Structure 1
Amino acid sequence: MEIENSQPYFFGDIGCWSERTEVHKAACLGQASQLQHLIKSGASVNMVAVDSITPLHEACLRGQAQCVRLLLDAGAQVDARNVDGSTPLCDASSAGSLECVRLLLDYGAKANPALTSRTASPLHEACMGGNSDCVKLLISMGACLEAYDLYYGTPLHVACSQQHTDCVKVLLNAGAKVNATRLHETPLHHAAKSMRPEMIEILVEFGANIHHRDQYDRKPVDYTTPGSPSAACLRFYETTPMSLQQLSRLAVRNNLGTRAMAVIHHLDIPKLLISYLSYQ
């Protein structure tokens, strides 16, 4: 049986470089029975195309969970890198396929692959797509909350710039640093630029510094339209000090850090206080 459409022209670490193979195509289209047939016929599951994309990348990019399982069972390299440095887990996280993300992690995929100048972490990718369930799963598996990407900053920067409030809440509740900076720009600057008052409120309640200035010496409020709800929200926080109650919550949360959600629910205090400390 002929598997390849063209002669490979370079032998790499995990197979021959070629145009996309029939295995790539089956994985991409979710053709599980065809993929299984190809594997049984001896086709390589680690053949890389000219852009270093493996069949596993293809399946993950399109959320083809059944094909992902078949490839992994057949020995597909779970942390293979494409030409941009992305792993299959990055692609599955970007696609928002919770099932694929879970499968990859179960087969040993690294939640924190080494970052390159051309790729972000799986957590960045999940935040970019607004995939909050994937964000939760990655965090539960140890994904670094402060992974730093040269272009975007931290995952919280990404979630704010892409206006994904659900992801922002998940990251902050997990202990992400609300005042992390990229070129002096904080997540609150992104929320202000996006004109999202509900996101601004969440960030400030978690301790965002409304007076922080970026590389252009501008505060978050300077990026809002005068008279807009976002501007009014920031002006309110600038002129109204936090209550002792809010300050106490911040002190508790800051002290607990990333352990907060695990610890708070075991405290011997009324459920109302637990809900308050959990920002519910």
Structure 2
Amino acid sequence: MEDPYVFGDIGSWAERTEVHKAASQGLVDQLRQLIADGAPVNIVAVDSITPLHEACIRGQSQCVRLLLDAGAQVDARNVDGSTPLCEACSAGSLECVRLLLDHGATVNPALTSRTASPLHEACMGGQVECVRLLLSLGASLEASDLYHGTPLHVACANQHTACVRMLLNAGANVNASRLHETPLHYAAKARQAETVELLVEFGANIYARDQRERRPVDYTTPDSPAAACLRAYERAPLTLQQLSRVAVRNKLGTRALEVIGQLDIPKLLIGYLSFQ
């Protein structure tokens, strides 16, 4: 019995070719034979899904390699504007991601009104290793899509603290705004005390107000850990560690942010102040 087709609501298997089917289901020998027989590897379905998209959605790395070696368009876009790299990042298939990048996939494709970047997709699924790889290749930290905001917004909304930390250490704008909502608003809505604390440690504005004039704390439930965390920050001044981190980030800019977590920040701040 064939596996049912489960990608989205658009299209059906009746609209897919045998190449799509083989790529999606990991039928390597069948796909190799289809290619040898001259089947087009860049054929698209009504929603502009290519066989390469299908293989990446399911993390079928062997099929991805076959398609790419046969000339599949590495940056083809589907009807939503997503590239195969977006799909591989969403699936968390590091092997597929590496194959696509080795064949020239664009790390920062132009965003359309309907799509997110590969980094957005990796953050949405909490795919830490994909996030790490994309950041090492210069993925845009401030790319903002219509529905989600920046990758940091996405990571906070989806409760992926490890991704949040990685983005912040790479220099993501902790107070980036989407409709006046900051990542801290998103973390508060998700009731993630650990993420809330992490954002504040990196300089998040606890008093920022969204378009409804609501602060992050206004989205927490009373007596929740996230609410207690924000209330505590409201009552107490920033610690030396927090002040140090903000001062160093402002002074050095994003190029030195990756090493900040390894520094003795209070001593660095004292040294910095002694020269002022």
Same fold at TM > 0.5: yes
| Aligned mate of 2:190, from 194, 211, 234 | 194
Match of 1:22 in 2: 18
Unaligned runs of 5+ in 1: 1-17, 266-270
**Correspondence 1:231 to 2:227:** yes
Residue 84 of structure 1 aligns to which amino acid in structure 2?
D
Match of 2:253 in 1: 257
- Identity rate, percent: 75
Distance 1:173 1:78, change over 3 A: same
When the two structures are aligned, how many residues end up with a matched partner?
255
Segments ≥4 residues shifted beyond 4 Å:
261-265, 274-277
Q: How does 1:146-185 map to 2 (within 5 A)?
A: 146-185=142-181
Match of 1:133 in 2: 129
TM-score calculated relative to the size of structure 2: 0.88
Residue 248 of structure 2 aligns to which amino acid in structure 1?
V
Match of 1:72 in 2: 68
Match of 1:89 in 2: 85
Residue 264 of structure 2 aligns to which amino acid in structure 1?
L
| Aligned mate of 2:59, from 35, 60, 63 | 63
- Partners of 2:260 and 2:112 in 1: how far apart? 36
Distance 1:56 1:186, change over 3 A: same
Question: What do the CA deviations read for 1:205-255 (whole angstroms, capped 9, x no partner)?
Answer: 000000101100011111111111111100100111112342122211233
Distance 1:262 1:156, change over 3 A: closer
Unaligned runs of 5+ in 2: 1-13, 269-276
User: Shift in Å at residue 272 of structure 1?
Assistant: 6.3
- Partners of 1:202 and 1:257 in 2: how far apart? 19
Match of 1:35 in 2: 31
**Correspondence 1:206 to 2:197:** no
**Secondary structure at 1:49 match in 2:** coil
TM-score calculated relative to the size of structure 1: 0.87
Match of 2:6 in 1: none
**Secondary structure at 2:59 match in 1:** coil
Match of 2:264 in 1: 273
- Partners of 2:267 and 2:38 in 1: how far apart? 58
Match of 1:118 in 2: 114
Distance 1:233 1:276, change over 3 A: farther
- Partners of 2:250 and 2:102 in 1: how far apart? 32
